Chain A
Amino acid sequence: MSPVVPVISFRNVFYAYPEAEEYALKNITFDLPIGGTEIILGGSGSGKSTILKLILGLIKPESGSIEIGGVEISRMEEEELMSIRSKIGMVFQEGALFDSLTVAENVGFRLREYEHLSEGDVEERVRAMLGFVGLEEFYDRMPSELSGGERRRVAVARAMAHQPELILYDEATTGLDPITASTICDLIVKLRDLEGVSTVLVTHQLRDAFQIAQSFIFKRGGRTTYHRIEDLNALMGTEFMVLNEGEAVFRGRQKELWEAENDYVRRFLSR
């Protein structure tokens, strides 16, 4: 047994939505090491988002075990799950910002509810988070005034406000133009490399998935530098999973993904 506990550990997880005849997820097994990235690819309805809901404990698996930071969560009550969720941030599809709250209130939502910070500290943290995603001037705006890309960036700021160890991205770049999508990808890489956050990314945008897998950022002398690794053999820390109708038809590194023999994977990559 590995001495380092993985952030996420799925063992033979099955899940079916209520009143559905088919399983939405079948026999899913994977580990995500600390600081690692899991990129889950698959078409619509393949069960990608379901995995994220299971990690958060929003739904419970039919069978199998799910451990977050070494703690089994699949039989936990809602109250117990709250402490698990404090370690996780999630960026939902289209952002899922609270319409009735301002951008700042959205980002500071969890800080106000749980962290017992003074109003001044909350404001400072919220401004820092909005600065990180480059939207400081949107502090007092309402979500309805934002563009799709801005909403996603606010959602990223909200997900990271309580400094989680793990962030889940559900289709974070879907429906955005390539330039905005690229900004979001850079944010994800920045969070992973500079803050050491473990990442689970669900997407069907191959370009963005590979951008995240192949980029890395480091800080030197107060300056952040982006790098792109072209040699796929040198890529570490990012694992891919391809889902088809709830089944993991592939799991491995990017290089292995390109070499995979599975029909669905080949079609998905348009090879």
Chain B
Amino acid sequence: MEAVVNGAFERLKRTILHIQEFTMLSYRGFANLLSRPRYWQDTFDMMDVMGVGSLTIVCLTGLFTGMVLTVQSSATLDAFGARPYVGRMVSLSMIRELGPVLTSLMVAGRVGSGMAAELGSMVVTLQIDAMRALGTDPIRKLVTPRLVSGVIMVPVLTVLSDAVGMLGGYLVARFTLRLATEFYWHSAIDAIKMEDIIMGLAKPFVFGYIVVAVGCYLGLSTRGGTQGVGESTTRSVVMASVLILASDYFLNLLILHFVYP
């Protein structure tokens, strides 16, 4: 019995320690922006990797999500004779929920895992130690540029995904459901309010931070050689995805409470 309690206590202690270290890494990652040196070139390079590199996958995700949303919702809406409202359904779902969440999940899989793997192998091959020995703070050089590009590029990708999703919805509405072009776009655009845009941009901002911070934290805390790198990579995707979905729920509550009238 005592062993069980002790074990649980140890686990709790370790979890709290992880949270503390994660918070410290995030804090130092952003605080570094306030002082020199700042690695803008590295930041732009990361933005290129995250943004341009993820274009195809994010557009494809957005396109098919928009298309399937239209197909699915048209059946429901038809029951009420509300087919012309399909545009509204698609645009609001994409902007408020599916665009931010699916884009971030895709970026977590493609970029977050890559960061964990890259930083993890730098740890196990002593490159991080070498960087410190050469007088450069790895958090400033590696984490800060990634955090900045994460909180900028994930929202940008989300906007793109929203747009492509609405376009996908339009293609299905026009060519399968035989809905008039102006009906679809009217309904889609008119439905969007300022609050929806705030929600649609606040979420990917937070998710972008989660993807990068989790990837960097797990990468930098890698132990145990190449096997450890593999574990960190997998855990980064799982943990980032769970955190994105969980924080999405709470963000919804917060934004609905404070932003919506």
Contacts and interface: CB of A to CB of B under 8 A. Distances in A.
Interface string A234-265: 00000000000000000000000000000000
Contact of A78 (B125, B127, B137): B137
A85 B133 contact: yes
Interface stretch (A27-35, A106-114, A177-185, A206-214): A106-114
B229 to A, nearest CB: 13
A183 to B, nearest CB: 21
Nearest to B141: A113
Contacts of A109: 134, 136
Contacts of B136: 109-110, 113
Nearest to B136: A113
A17 to B, nearest CB: 10
A242 B34 CA distance: 46
Nearest to B128: A96
A96 B128 CA distance: 9
Contacts, number: 49
Contact of B130 (A78, A88, A90, A113): A90
B126 interface: yes
A53 interface: yes
Interface string A91-122: 01110111100000000011001100000000
Nearest to B130: A96
A99 B127 contact: yes
A59 B75 CA distance: 63
Given A56-B132, A58-B132, A98 B137 contact: no
Interface string B128-145: 011111111100000000
A96 B125 contact: yes
A53 B129 contact: yes
B37 interface: yes
A85 B129 contact: no
Contact of B129 (A58, A99, A110): A58
Contacts of A110: 134-136
Interface in B96-147: 121-122, 125-127, 129-137
Nearest to B132: A58
A56 B135 contact: no
Contacts of A78: 137
A56 B135 CA distance: 10
A27 B246 CA distance: 49
Given A56-B133, A85-B133, A109-B134, A92 B126 contact: yes
A194 interface: no
Interface residues of B, number: 15
Contacts of A114: 135
A92 B135 contact: no
B13 to A, nearest CB: 11
B129 A96 contact: yes
Interface string B239-250: 000000000000
Contacts of A98: 127, 130-131
Contacts of B127: 96-99
Interface-central residue, B37, B132, B133, by most chain A CB under 10 Å = B133
Interface string A145-178: 0000000000000100000000000000000000
A58 B127 CA distance: 13
Interface-central residue, B122, B127, B129, by most chain A CB under 10 Å = B129
Contacts of A82: 135
A86 interface: yes
Interface-central residue, B122, B130, B132, B134, by most chain A CB under 10 Å = B134
Contact of B125 (A86, A88, A94, A158): A94
Interface string A115-157: 0000000000000000000000000000000000000000000
A14 to B, nearest CB: 21
A58 B132 CA distance: 7
A113 B134 contact: yes
Interface string A40-67: 0000000000000100101000000000
Interface string B31-53: 00000010000000000000000
9 contacts: A58-B133, A85-B132, A88-B133, A92-B126, A92-B129, A99-B122, A109-B134, A113-B37, A113-B136
For the complex of A and B, 7 pairs with smallest distance between CB atoms: A96-B126, A96-B130, A90-B133, A110-B134, A92-B126, A82-B135, A85-B135
